[in-house]
Structure 1
Amino acid sequence: MRIIGVIYMRVVVIGSGIVGSSAAYECAKAGADVIVLEAGRIAGGTSAVSFAWTNATTKRPRPYFDLNVSGMRAHLELRRDFGAAPWFTQTGSFDWRTVPETMDDYFENFRQMREWGYGVDWIDKKRVAEMEPDIDVCAFGDCPISYYPEEGWVDPVLYSAWLLRAAKERWGAQVKIGLRVTEIETDGGRVRAVRTADGERYATDAVVNCTGGWSSERLGDAQGIPLSSTIGVLAITPPIALTLRSQLHADDLDLRPDGAGRIMIHKVSVDMTFKKPETLSPIGDEAATLLEAASRVLPSLRSAGVEAIRTTVRPFPEDGYTCAGAMPDIAGHYMAVTHSGVTIAPQLGKVVADEVVRGKIHEEMETFRPQRFFQAHTQRAAAHV
């Protein structure tokens, strides 16, 4: 970590989801005068429709794996910071595959995770049945089952609410909702202020863009980053009399408890049928597909139905990896966008505070800087001249 120098500054954070609230909390904690500007409601974007799985499995190459592991550790540190974490559940994950074509990748991932020191072990069906009696172990067939004891999930909306409340009460941060930022105002190549759609102007020394799936948008002179975002679909059941505590991951199916007896269902193949967010019916075809797949593993769901089904934009920077760092064109404009926001948010918040407020540069983040996109675009443009 390289120390540049410590300066006091005003920071505007755009977006109040799990990444924005983390950045606001840590920047306020570091001594900045923080204002959060949110176009809608707190954590009302992607954070509100997320499977919210904290993990580092399959996260390659190594720098991306390490960043996700740091995020998992930062969740535990944050729990100590608050004395409790009602937004965080850490009860482990079961993972198995039934499609022969995916087995080589499955075994290679297990080997790689073990080699890198990640917590994973093989587990037999008898032990699964003892730990989670609601699971129909026949769904496993003869497939090997892996268990990840350190994985968990987050309620991103609760997380954001608690962190923003602490930022306000402990360090005087301001949170303003219903204010859409339309322009980052600059002078001499440096951020000076942001303007909102209602004409308000907020003078600032730095802007942290945490707008997720909207971070490709240009804000006045400030350009965004290229995205290749996808659509996510989640179904939630009514309360069911289950004792399930762990997450379940099978082929392209993901299941977990969602509080008050509800079960959250996700299936990648359903995501892939959408090109934009849509309003779906809990008695529609997508809901039926998700419920049928989940019921093979949790038979109690067969007569449950779906209470709600939602779609959202899942933010992916163009190359699929986290984008965090100073934008190359304007001093004081910092980007923080990632598909792995739930896992790495508390660590990313610390990185933002260190780099923006304390002047401490995280060398391990060099892989993830926004500059990589603009270098690639410049090279492609030059090749066509």
Structure 2
Amino acid sequence: MAISNTKTKKNIVIAGAGIVGASIGFNLSQRSNINLTLIDIDIPGQGASKHSFAWLNSYYKMPEHYWHLNKMSMDMWHRFASELGNDVGLVVGGDIRWVKTKKDADDLITKVNKMQSLGYKCNLIDRDELQALEPNLHIDEFEIGYYGANDAHVEPLKVIDACLGKIRDNGGTFLPNTSIDQLILENGIVTGVNTSKGIIECDTFVIAAGTGTPSLASLAGINIPLVESPGSGAKTLKIPPLLNTAALIHLPAIDKNNGQLHVRQFSDGSLMIGEGSQESVSNDDSNEHALNLLERARHYLPIPNVDVAPMGIGYRPMPADGLPIVGFSDQVPNMYIAVTHSGVTLSPVLGTYASMEILDEQKVDYLENYRLERFLDGEGEIIFHGKDQRLDVWSRKLGYNKDS
């Protein structure tokens, strides 16, 4: 095993200053004898991090190994926030939701039973318990409710700013508005990054660029299977505190023509409203849609008259099987990939373990299910293994043939 505190400094370049790249950079910057450069094509956090609902959770995130990874990261968030030393908007109040039909109740009971068996702090609640937790709620039809007490939310841009501040304090460099035009490859490894601001030498190249990861990896001939996953939402101006207990609340559909909503409130008083689940696809960023979301939320919550605006369309970095892609590439041994959905929840654990793998040359067992090579054949072409229906659907969307 290599030791990082040798006499020769290691040059590490990270592409991507979203919450995952910033967390990896922060963790690396705490180690000695490295020259760290973090690059972003824009200003920090303008991709998925900007549009994220930033719900910290492990709500029925199957398979079990993925559930455990998310739960592990949730447990790291308090220390992560403390190490950053800034207010990052961390609010722990739990996730509250309820369902209106017997079918949905059966599904919720099954999920809660499974999560409780794994040790997740959650429980079913009745109408009175729900009303006691959130007195402002208007509850119409009700079959059964849910309370996940440890769920939380943060403000990703504050987290990123705090990480970048620590990186600079620890001697690292951040280059915003910087494009990467070429990777300099020698004997199959990346020795330099040709950017719009010049060439930067590197011993390790980390790609944590969200939806930009495939294009950067392709500069070295590496395929990264992501699927298009747009999401949209709305945000209001400042209003008085709305929720009594919960960090966020999931509101059931008001009728068959509309989906469920999820609502959270930021520290500045603004309200964020999203539609569907955290993985739902939506590309409507019109003012009319934002007003519609607000009116639907008002069915359940006493939201005062307030201006609301669309947040724009954010594209989630969604790997083709829905699970993270993390680790060094077998094709280019000094290129480290870190791309995932649920990046806000997972940023503490990925930052911690990626820095260990990068500097200590130690593979972390908890990440073994998330290597890029699960998608690739021996020649680096994308294939899909297993019989997961999601893979079949997503592979067709991408135009890949599992059997070719």
What TM-score comes out, normalization by structure 2 length? 0.86
With over 3 angstroms needed to count, the CA separation of the structure-2 counterparts of 1:333 and 1:120, relative to structure 1, is same
From 66, 69, 75, give the equivalent of 2:68: 66
With over 3 angstroms needed to count, the CA separation of the structure-2 counterparts of 1:33 and 1:147, relative to structure 1, is same
Q: CA RMSD in A?
A: 2.2
User: Which residue does 1:24 correspond to in 2?
Assistant: 25
User: Which residue does 1:112 correspond to in 2?
Assistant: 114
Q: Distance in 2 between matches of 1:236 and 1:11?
A: 37
With over 3 angstroms needed to count, the CA separation of the structure-2 counterparts of 1:258 and 1:207, relative to structure 1, is same
Where do 5+ consecutive residues of structure 2 fail to align?
Answer: 253-259, 385-399
Q: Distance in 2 between matches of 1:83 and 1:260?
A: 19
SS of the equivalent of 1:360 reads: coil
Matched ranges for 1:29-178 at <5 A = 29-31=30-32, 32-83=34-85, 85-136=87-138, 138-139=139-140, 141-169=141-169, 171-178=170-177
AA aligned to 1:377 is I
Residue pair 1:59, 1:65 contacting (<8 A) in 2 also: yes
Residue 5 in structure 1 maps to residue 2 in structure 2: yes
Q: How much has 1:378 moved relative to structure 2?
A: 5.3
AA aligned to 1:242 is P
Residue 296 in structure 1 maps to residue 305 in structure 2: no
Q: Distance in 2 between matches of 1:191 and 1:272?
A: 36
Residue pair 2:329, 2:335 contacting (<8 A) in 1 also: yes
Q: Deviations over 1:275-311 (max 9, x none)?
A: xxx7x343x2x1132112211121325x434144321
Q: How much has 1:221 moved relative to structure 2?
A: 2.1
User: Which residue does 1:254 correspond to in 2?
Assistant: 262
From 184, 202, 207, give the equivalent of 1:209: 207
With over 3 angstroms needed to count, the CA separation of the structure-2 counterparts of 1:369 and 1:125, relative to structure 1, is same
Q: How much has 1:273 moved relative to structure 2?
A: 4.5
User: Which residue does 2:395 correspond to in 1?
Assistant: none
Residue 377 in structure 1 maps to residue 382 in structure 2: yes
How many equivalent residue pairs? 370
Q: Distance in 1 between matches of 2:51 and 2:62?
A: 25
From 267, 274, 296, give the equivalent of 2:275: 267
Q: How much has 1:183 moved relative to structure 2?
A: 2.2
User: Which residue does 2:16 correspond to in 1?
Assistant: 15
Q: How much has 1:224 moved relative to structure 2?
A: 4.0
Greater CA deviation, 253-262 or 56-65?
253-262
SS of the equivalent of 1:235 reads: strand
SS of the equivalent of 2:374 reads: helix
Residue 352 in structure 1 maps to residue 351 in structure 2: no
AA aligned to 1:299 is P
Residue pair 1:184, 1:219 contacting (<8 A) in 2 also: no
AA aligned to 2:127 is K
Q: How much has 1:37 moved relative to structure 2?
A: 0.4
Where do 5+ consecutive residues of structure 1 fail to align?
Answer: none
AA aligned to 2:147 is Y
Q: How much has 1:50 moved relative to structure 2?
A: 0.8
Q: Which has the higher contact order (CA 8 A, sep 6+)?
A: 1
Q: Deviations over 1:157-198 (max 9, x none)?
A: 0000001101211x20110101011222211111101111x2
AA aligned to 1:195 is N
Q: How much has 1:383 moved relative to structure 2?
A: 4.8
What TM-score comes out, normalization by structure 1 length? 0.90
Residue pair 2:89, 2:266 contacting (<8 A) in 1 also: no
Residue 179 in structure 1 maps to residue 182 in structure 2: no
